[in-house]
Amino acid sequence: MAVTDAAPIITTRFGLDDGHTLERYLATGGYEGLKAALAKSPTAVHEEVKAASLLGRGGAGFPAGVKWGFCPPGVWPRYLVVNGDESEPGTYKDRLLMERDPHQLIEGVLIACYAIGAAQAFLYVRGEMALAQERIAQALNDAYEAGYVGRNILGSDFSVDIVLHWGAGAYIVGEETALIESLEGNRGMPRLKPPYFPAAKGLYMQPTIVNNVETLSNLPWILSHGGTSFAELGAEASRGTRLFAVSGHVKNPGVYEVEFGVTTFRDLIYAPVYGGGIRDGNELKAFIPGGASAPWFYEEHLDLPLESGAVGAAGSMLGSGAVVVMDHTTDAVKAAWRVVRFFARESCGKCTPCREGTTWLERILRRIVDGHGRPEDIGLLLDVCDNISPGIDWPPKQTTICPLGPSAVSPIASAVVRFKDEFIAACGGTGEVPVPINGAAYTPAPDSSSEVTGV
Amino acid sequence: MARFSEANLKTATEILSRYPRPKSALIPLLHLAQEQDGYVTEEAMEHIAELIGITPAEVLGTCSFYEMFKREPVGTYLVNVCTNISCMLLGGEELLHHLEERLGIKAGGTTPDGMFTLEDVECIAACTEAPCLQVNYRYHYKVTPEQADALIDDLRAGRRAHEIPRHGTLARVRQHIPADRRAGNAVPGEAEEPVWITRAAASEGGAG
Amino acid sequence: MSDTQAPETVVLTINGKQVEATPGELVIDAAERTGTYIPRFCYHPRMEPVGMCRMCIVEIDTGRGPALQPSCMIPVAPDMVVDTESAVTKKAQEGVLEFLLINHPLDCPVCDKGGECPLQDQTMSHGPGESRLVEEKRHYAKPIPISDLVDLDRERCILCDRCTRFAKDVAGDALIHFIDRGNQTQVNTFPDHPFASYFSGNTVQICPVGALTASPYRFKARPWDLDQVESTCTSCSVGCRVVVQSSRNEVVRYLGVDVDPVNWGWLCDKGRFDFQAQNHEARLRAPLVRSGDDLVEASWGAALQQAVAALRDADPDRVAVLGGARLTNESAYAWAKLAKGVLGTDHVDAQLDDGLPAEVVLGLPKATIDQVCAPGGTVLLIGPDVKEELPVLFLRLRHAVTRDGVKVVELAPRRSSFSDLAAATLLHRPGTEGEVVRALLAGGGDQEVGGVPAEALAAAAALLDAGPVTVVLGRANLADSGAGVVAAAEAIHAAHPEVRFLSALRRANVHGALDMGLAPGLLPGRTTLEEAGQWFRDGGWATVPAQRGHDARGILEAAAAGKVDVLVLLGADPLADVPDRALATKALAGARTVIAVDQLPTASVRQADVVFPAAGYAEVDGTTTNLEGRVSTVARKVTAPGTARDDWMIAVDLARFLEADLGFSTLEEIWAEIEALAPSHAGLTLEVLHGYDARDGVVIPLAGPPAAAPDEVSSTEGAAPSGPAHEGESDSGVAEAAGEAAVAAEAADDAAAKGAAEVEATEAQAEATADAAEADGDPEPEAPAAPARPALLRHRPAGEVTAPAPDAYSLRLVATRKLYDLGTLVQHSPSLAGLVTENAVHLHPHDFDKLGIEPGASVTLTAAAGALQLPAVPDAGVPRGSAAVLVNQPGPAVGTLVTAGEAVTDVRVERA
Ligand SMILES: Cc1cc2nc3c(=O)[nH]c(=O)nc-3n(C[C@H](O)[C@H](O)[C@H](O)COP(=O)(O)O)c2cc1C
Ligand code: SF4
Ligand code: FES
C-alpha cells in the first residue's frame, strides 16, 4: 500500500495561526456538524457514529458508537468525560487538537452529549498543558457567549454545560476509571472493571462515557459529511483517518494525519511526506508501533498496514498512535530501562505487583545499565515480569487491576527476546547463558529464536 | 498569605459551583492555591478542606498523588526536561546534564537564588520535537545546549516574564460561565431524563 | 418471613467441587464458607472490598476461559468455575507475597504482631526462600506516633487500605490517609492533625501486619504466652463482644469479636484500653474499716462484723443501697435479694439521679440495635451524644445512615457528633423535649416550640411520617431533671403504642441491675412490688418491701437530712456521678454508716466506714445485660487482687452474718433462681445462655422456644401489631413499618433461629404494652407465672413538670458527657487518663454581644446552687439562650451548679 490522497479530516485548521478562534472556526464550516446533529434525533446521531465505525483513538480502540450503547437505559444523569490527559510516551496528537482546534473538540463534545443524553460534560486536560488549557478556556467562553454551549443551544431544547478541568501530573489518570476518580477529587487510582465500567457506573457511579480528544474531534466531520463517507476511508475495522506521531530516529519527525487501515508503517517511517526515513542513512533497529506500552516491532513488520486487527495479530497494538523509531545506534537495554522507569514512576501504587514489581524491574535494569548486571539478572527480570503478567503473553494477562503494571513487561520482553545477546553481554555473561522465557507473543531475531526456551 | 485571598476565595467559590459534588473541585482548588503562593501550603490545604467539607488528610492524600503540586517552595521557574524514550533517543539526557552543569544543581534541586528548579520528567507530549523541555509548563522544542543557555539567561534577566508567568500559574485564561447561559449541574439523585431525549423519544414513538 | 424471603442459591464450582452460594456473595467468602481458604490481606468482611493487595487472586472462569481475578471483589455467578490451586494461581499468589516482602523489614522477632501475623504465616507456608532483592529496601523513620494510642511503622505497612478504609468509611474520622504515590505510597496523618479517633484501636486489630501497634500493648506480651477467654465489654451498656487476653495473670489486651447483632467486631478505645484500671496498683486488695480519719485494713470477718453491726438493728426504712450498675446480673440479684428480701428496704437505686425512671426504661416496648438500624427506617434520637456515651452504637447508627438509608431525627440540647449525619437536628431548650415531641406528633404546627423553629418542626415531622420509626431514648443533659425526656417518651407511646424504644442509658450493666430489681418499687424481672410481691415471697424471699422506696435523689436527700443509718454504695461514686454535687457531699456526710463495695478508692470510698474490695471485670464469671435487654456472658480470666471477692459473695456473707440465708452459694444456683422467679427471664436457662450461638447473647424476655423454626418467625411477623389509628395514615404506617423493621432486622441477623425468639419477644411485648395503654387505668396484674411487663406508669410527677420560662437574664444550662472524663476507670488507665477535655462554657455567638463578653474570656456562671468560672467559647452548635458545659472534666466541678430535682438549671453568665 502507499501514501493515499485522502483529504485530512481533523487537521484542516492546523495550518492557520488563528484556527483556534471562533471567528475562523465559523468561517471554515465550524458548528455545521452540531446543526446537522440537532436536526436529527439523538438516536439518528448515534446511528451516524455507528455507521462511521469510529474506533476510539485513546488506546483501547473500542468502537465509539458501540460504547455509547452501553449506558443502561433510564438511568440519569449521564455524563460525558473527555480524556485529554495524553501522557503515553511517544504520543502527541491530542494536545495539538486542543491547542489548534479547540472548537472542533467542543463541537464534538456537544454532538456526543446530544446523542447520549449527557446533561454535563467534563473536559479533562492534562495538567502540564497550559496552552491547551488557555485555548480551550477561551474557546468555551466564546462558545458560551455565542450560544453554542450552555442553556438552549442554538435555540433548541438541548442544554449542556462543558466544564474545563485540569489534571495535575499523573499518567495513570489517563486510564478512564482513574480519570473518573481524579475528577471526583480523589487519588487517581483505577477501579476494577467489572463492576466499574464507566458506561454503567462511572462518575459519581452514574453512567459515564469516556472518550478521547481525537475520537470526539472526528464527530463534526462525521455529522456534516455522514458516517458512511467516513467509513469509506480506511480498511477492515479501522476507518477514517488517524493521527500518528512519528518520533525518534527519523529524518522528519512529526504528527501526520493518514488514512487509517491502509497506510503502512513503511509509508509512515520512510515516505518523504511523512517520516522520510531513518536519520543519517542509519539502519532501523526497532520501532514501537503504538506507545510505550506496546511490544516492539522490527524490520519484518514494516509492511503491516496501520490497522488494529493486523497489528494485533502480529503481536502488538496501534495503541495511541505513537510510533517511536530506534536506529541501530540505540542501546536496547537502556531503551528498555527508560521505558520501564516510566511505568515504575507512574504506578498509582494500588496493586502490589505493579507498585513493587515495576520498581524492582527498574532497579534491576538500572543496575545492568550501570554495568553491575549479573548473569542471573535476566532470569530474575523475566520471572518478575511473569509475576506481573503471567505467561508474558500478548495481549497481556494481569495480576493487577489495570494494564499499567503489565505494560512495563512488554519493553523488557521485547528487548530480551530480540536483543538477547546485548542483554547477556550487559549482564556480564557469555553467549551460553540461556534466556528462560515464555512469551511466545514476542518476536525473536530471525536467526536465534531456537535458543529461547520456556520457563 | 496561605489561606485564599478575598479574590481567590471568589474564584474558588465559582469553581466549586461548577461541580455536582464539591470534592470534584479539589484539584482545581489546589492549583489555585499553588498559583497564589507558588506552592501548596498546609494552611491552604486546611482552608480547602473547610471549603469542601473534608479532612485536611484527605486533601493531602489527593494533593500528594499528583506531581505538579509542590508542598515545598520551588524556583520561580520550574524547568522540566523530558528524558523519556523519544527525547532520550535525541539527546534528552544530555540536555538535562547540560542544564545541571549550567545551573549547578542536580535534577530535583533548586538554585540558591530560588530562580530555578530543575526536573527530569516523563513524556510531556512533544515527542516529535525532541529534545524538549518546559518552563512553568511552557514548551521549548528541539532545544540545543546553546538555546538552553540563552533561555536561562533570558529568564534570569526577566526577558521572558511576559510569556512565562511565575511558577504556580497555569492557564492565564479562566473558564467563566455566564449565569444566563448556564445549563446547570447534573446532580445525581436530582437530574432527570434530559428534555431533548424525552421529546425525541415521544416524537419517535409518535412516528413509529 | 425469612422463609419467603429466603434467596435462591447460586451453584458454582470451586476446585472441582460444586458448592452453593447466595447471590451477591463474594467468591472469597463462598470459598471460605465451603472449606477453601483463599489468602488475603486487604479484604475485610465488614468493609467495602478494594482489591488492592492482590493476594486473593485466583483463576475464575465465567465462560470466557480462566482469568486471574481478585476473589474479594468478584461476586459468585452461576456455573462459575474457580480454581484456587492451579499452577497459575499459586505462582501469582507467591509472586504477590514476594512483592510484599521485598520491602518488608522482616523484623518479626521484635514485632508485636509476631506470632499472629497473616503476612508471617503466609510467608512460612509458601513464601520465597531468601530475598532475591539485592537492592536496598525502602526506608522510613521507625514507628511514629499517629495518636496518643497508636504507633505506625511504615516500613512494615503493606498498604492494604484497611486502617484508612476503617477510619473513613466505618468511623467517619478520615484522619489517616494514603499519602504520595506508587512505590512511595505511605499511610500518614496530616501534619499536626493526629488520628484522634475514639475508634483508633480497631485499626490496630485489623492491621494484617505489625504496622499499627497500640501503645498500651507494645511489647507487653507475645501471642504464644497469651491466654484468652471470650467475654462481653462492660465499659458501657452497648455490650460489645470481646476476647480478653492475659499474660501471667494480668489482662494485657482486648480484641473485638464480630457478633452480628451488636458490635461487628468493633470496639471503642475506652472499652479496649480501660482494662488498665483493673491492673492498677491502687486496686483495693483487702477490706478497710474506719478508725478516726483513716481507713485501715481489716480481716473480712472484722469488716463484715462491723457492717452487720450497723445493719442488724437498723430500721429498714433507714437503710439504702445506691449503685449496682457495675455488677453482673447474678451479683445484682443477690444484692437486690439482700436489700429487699432480707433487709426489707426499698430505698434501692442502681442509677444516681443521672438516668431515667426504671419504669420508663423497662416498661416501654424495647427495640434491638438491629431493629433501630433496619434499612429504610427512621430513628428519633432523643438522648445523649451517642458517640460520647455509646460509641459502638454510634458506629452501627452511622452505618445505618451512610449505607442503609436510615434517617435520623435528632432532638438535642446542643449539636452532637451525630448532627452531621442526622436528616434533621432539632436544637431545643433544656427540659422542653415533651413539648417539642408533642408538636412533632401533631405534625409541626405554626409556631416555635422549646426554641425549635416551626419550619424545622414541620420538616422533621414529615420525616417521621415517612418511615417505620424507632426511638433511641436517653438523658442528654445532666443539668435538667430528665422529666422532659420522660414526657416525650410518654407522648410517643400514647400516640404510637407499637413504636419501640432503645434505651441509651450508658453505665455498664445498668439495664441488668434494673432488671434485677435494683430500683425503687421494682422486683427482679421487670415487675413491681404490687404485681409480684406475693410471687417472690412464695418463691422464698423472707420479705418484700410494703411500699415503694426512694429513688437515688430521695435516698441522697434522706441521707443529707440524717434519715439514713446505713448507706451502701455498690460500686457507686456519688461524689463523682451525682449531678448535684452538693447533695452528694451532704448525703455522704449525713449517713450514719457508709458501706462501700468497690474496686478502687474513689472519692466516695474514701468517705466510707467499711469498705469491701470487689473483684472486677475479667475477674468474675456471670452475665451482663446490654441496652437492648440482651443477656450475654462475662468471663473470668485473671484472679482478683488480694482477697477481693465477687459482689454476690459479699451479699451472701453479709446475709450469713445476719443469720439469714440468701438460698444460694453458687452462680448456677443464683441463675436458676433468677430463671425461676424473674418474669422477664423465664426460659432463659443456662443451657439456652451457653447453648446455641452463645456469643450473640439472648434478648429477653424470650417468647416461645429459643430455637423457633423460621416459619414460626414469619407467623409472628405477620402478627406485627398495628396500633389504634390515633394519627390516621401515619399511625398505621408506623405500625406495619415497625413490623417491617423487625423483619429487616431479623433478616439482617443470620442467627435466624434465635433472632426469631428476639423478634417474637419484642413483638409480644409491643402488643402487651399496646393493650395496656388502651386499657383505661392500670393493667390487671397478671399471674406471676407469666406476668406482663409493667406498662408505663401514669401520672408520674416528673412527667408533669414543665420547665419554667427562662427569665431574660439567665441562660439555661446544658451539661453533657465526653467519652474520656474523670471517671474512675478512665483515670486509672494511664493511656486514657490524659485524654480528658479542658472544660469551657459554649455559648451561641449572638449571646456574646447580648452578655457583653469576649470570646475566650473567663466568665462566671452563677446558679442557685453555686458559681464557677470557665472560659467562654462561641459555638453555633449551642442554641441561643443555652450555656453548654461538660461534666466530670478537669477544672471546676459543674455539679456545684446543679440542684437535684429542679426541672432545669438557669445560670447567670457574667464577665469574671
Ligand atoms: C494506563 C493507561 C493510560 C491511558 N492513558 C490514556 C490517555 O492518556 N488518553 C486517552 O485518551 N486514553 C488513555 N487510556 C485509555 C482510556 O482508558 C480509555 O480507553 C479511553 O480514553 C477511551 O476513549 P476512546 O474510546 O475514545 O479511545 C489509557 C489507558 C490505560 C490503561
Ligand atoms: S496496575 Fe499499577 S497503575 Fe494500574 S491500578 Fe494497579 S497499581 Fe495502579
Ligand atoms: S484480599 Fe483481595 S485483593 Fe486484597
Q: How far apart are CA A264 and CA A256, in angstroms?
A: 13
Residues of chain C found within 8 Å of residue B55, distances taken between Cβ atoms: 173-175, 177, 190, 193
B161: DSSP letter:
T
Torsion of CA C894, C900, C902, C903, to 10 degrees: 80
- Give just the sign of the alpha carbon dihedral C543, C547, C553, C558: negative
What is the tens place of the pLDDT at every residue in A60-86?
A: 999 999 999 999 999 999 999 999 999
Rg, C-alpha atoms of chain C: 28
Q: C64 and chain A: CB distance < 8 Å anywhere?
A: no
pLDDT of residue C791: 37
Among the residue ranges A316-320, B3-7, C223-227, C252-256, the one predicted with the least confidence is C223-227
Measured in angstroms, the CA of B111 and the nearest CA of chain A are apart by: 22
Query: Using CB atoms, which residue from C177, C180, C181 is nearest to B57?
Result: C177
> How would DSSP label each residue in A30-57?
TTHHHHHHHTS-HHHHHHHHHHHT-B-S
Number of residue pairs across B and C with CB atoms under 8 Å? 38
For A260, the grid coordinates are: 487509517
Q: Which atom of ligand 2 is nearest to the CA of A346?
A: 3
Checking ipTM against 0.90, whether it exceeds it is yes
pLDDT of residue C6: 53
Q: A372 and chain C: CB distance < 8 Å anywhere?
A: no
- For residue A338, the SS3 value is helix
Selected residue of B26, B167, B197 to mutate for chain A interface (largest A Cβ count, 10 A): B197
Q: How far apart are CA C530 and CA C535, in angstroms?
A: 10
| Closest residue, chain A, to B86 (C-alpha) | A248
pLDDT at B29 over 60: yes
Q: C227 and chain A: CB distance < 8 Å anywhere?
A: no
Selected residue of A149, A160, A214, A247 to mutate for chain B interface (largest B Cβ count, 10 A): A247
For C610, the grid coordinates are: 467499711
C721: DSSP letter:
-
Q: C70 and chain A: CB distance < 8 Å anywhere?
A: yes
Q: What percent of chain A has a predicted confidence (pLDDT) above 90?
A: 91
Selected residue of B45, B64, B66, B67 to mutate for chain C interface (largest C Cβ count, 10 A): B64
Å from CA of A401 to ligand 1 middle = 15
Q: Let me know: does A330 contact B89? Beta carbons within 8 Å.
A: yes
Q: Which atom of ligand 3 is nearest to the CA of C42?
A: 4
Chains with at least 3 CB pairs less than 8 angstroms from chain A: B, C
Q: Let me know: does C627 contact C700? Beta carbons within 8 Å.
A: no
pLDDT of residue C715: 32
Q: How far apart are CA A42 and CA A157, in angstroms?
A: 12
Query: Using CB atoms, which residue from A76, A133, A342 is nearest to B191?
Result: A76
Among A345, A404, A407, A410, residue to substitute to test ligand 2 (most atoms within 8 Å of Cβ)? A404
Q: How far apart are CA C553 and CA C560, in angstroms?
A: 10
Q: Let me know: does C149 contact C826? Beta carbons within 8 Å.
A: no
Block mean pLDDT (10 aa), chain C, length 912: 61 97 97 96 96 97 95 96 97 96 89 88 80 90 93 96 98 98 97 97 96 86 87 97 94 95 98 94 97 96 97 95 98 98 98 94 94 97 97 98 97 97 97 95 91 96 92 96 93 93 96 97 93 91 96 97 98 95 97 97 97 96 97 96 98 97 97 94 92 86 51 33 34 37 40 40 44 41 42 40 73 96 93 94 95 94 96 96 96 94 94 89
End-to-end CA distance of chain C: 64
What is the tens place of the pLDDT at every residue in B169-205?
A: 999 999 999 999 999 999 999 999 999 999 999 987 6
Q: How far apart are CA B19 and CA A184, in angstroms?
A: 9
Q: How far apart are CA A342 and CA A337, in angstroms?
A: 9
Which CA distances in Å does B72 have to B40, B49, B111?
A: 7, 19, 14
Mean pLDDT of chain B: 96
CA C212, distance to chain mean position in Å, is 26
CB contact under 8 A, A141 and B176: yes
For C750, the grid coordinates are: 443470620
Nearest to A56, CA basis, from A323, A288, A237: A237
The mean pLDDT of A400-427, rounded to a whole number, is 94
Query: Using CB atoms, which residue from C96, C134, C184 is nearest to A353?
Result: C96
Å from CA of B140 to ligand 1 middle = 26
Query: Using CB atoms, which residue from A41, A156, A169 is nearest to B204?
Result: A41
pLDDT of residue C461: 96
Q: How far apart are CA A175 and CA A180, in angstroms?
A: 9
Q: How far apart are CA A455 and CA C91, in angstroms?
A: 12
> How would DSSP label each residue in C738-764?
HHHHHHHHHHH-S-HHHHHHHHHHHHH
Measured in angstroms, the CA of A80 and the nearest CA of chain C are apart by: 25
Nearest to C271, CA basis, from C251, C288, C286, C290: C251
Query: Using CB atoms, which residue from C68, C99, C134 is nearest to A356?
Result: C99
What is the tens place of the pLDDT at every residue in C804-832?
A: 777 778 999 999 999 999 999 999 999 99
Measured in angstroms, the CA of C59 and the nearest CA of chain A are apart by: 10
Residues of chain A found within 8 Å of residue C182, distances taken between Cβ atoms: 344-349, 355, 359
Among A351, A359, A387, A397, residue to substitute to test ligand 2 (most atoms within 8 Å of Cβ)? A351
Residues of chain C found within 8 Å of residue B23, distances taken between Cβ atoms: none
Find where cell 474506533 sits.
Answer: A55
pLDDT of residue A444: 87
pLDDT of residue A431: 65
Query: Using CB atoms, which residue from C180, C181, C190 is nearest to B56?
Result: C190
CB contact under 8 A, C95 and A170: no
State the CB neighbour count (10 A cutoff) for residue C260: 16
pLDDT of residue C735: 36
For strand A78-84 and strand C593-598, is the pairing parallel, antiparallel, or unpaired? Answer: unpaired
CA C719, distance to chain mean position in Å, is 30
> A318 pLDDT band (50/70/90 cuts)?
very high
Beta partners for C614?
Answer: C645
Query: Residue C67: in which H helix or E strand, if any?
Result: strand C66-70
Nearest to C522, CA basis, from A35, C754, C513: C513
CB contact under 8 A, B66 and A127: yes
What is the tens place of the pLDDT at every residue in A158-171?
A: 999 999 999 999 99
pLDDT of residue C417: 96
Q: A197 and chain C: CB distance < 8 Å anywhere?
A: no
Angle at C521 between CA C515 and CA C527, to 5 degrees: 45
Long-range contacts of C191-196 (CB under 8 A, 24+ apart): C191/B42, C193/B55, C193/B56, C193/B57, C194/C145, C194/C146, C194/C147, C194/C148, C195/C146, C195/C147, C195/C150, C195/C167, C196/C147, C196/C148
Which CA distances in Å does A367 have to A372, A413, A420?
A: 5, 17, 17
pLDDT of residue A3: 80
Q: C177 and chain B: CB distance < 8 Å anywhere?
A: yes
State the CB neighbour count (10 A cutoff) for residue A327: 19
What is the tens place of the pLDDT at every residue in C850-871?
A: 999 999 999 999 999 999 999 9
Q: Let me know: does B79 contact B99? Beta carbons within 8 Å.
A: yes
Q: Which residues contact B162 (CB under 8 A, 6 or more apart)?
A: none
Among C53, C93, C122, residue to substitute to test ligand 3 (most atoms within 8 Å of Cβ)? C53
Nearest to C625, CA basis, from C472, C516, C470, C745: C516
Find where cell 437486690 sits.
Answer: C336
Q: Which residues line ligand 1 (CB under 6 A)?
A: A 56-60, 62, 64, 83, 85-88, 172, 174-176, 210-212, 215, 402-404
- For residue C675, count CB atoms less than 10 angstroms from its CB and return exposed for 0-12, middle for 13-18, buried for 19 or more: middle
Angle at A206 between CA A205 and CA A210, to 5 degrees: 100
The mean pLDDT of A17-46, rounded to a whole number, is 98
Long-range contacts of A357-361 (CB under 8 A, 24+ apart): A357/A384, A357/A387, A357/A388, A357/A405, A357/A408, A357/C95, A357/C99, A358/A388, A358/A404, A358/A405, A358/A408, A358/C183, A359/C182, A359/C183, A360/A384, A360/C99, A360/C102, A360/C133, A360/C135, A361/A385, A361/A408, A361/A412
Residues of chain A found within 8 Å of residue B181, distances taken between Cβ atoms: 144-145, 147, 149-151
Q: Which residues of C840-865 are buried (b: 16+ CB within 10 A; e: fewer)?
A: bbbbbeebbeebebeeeeebebbbeb
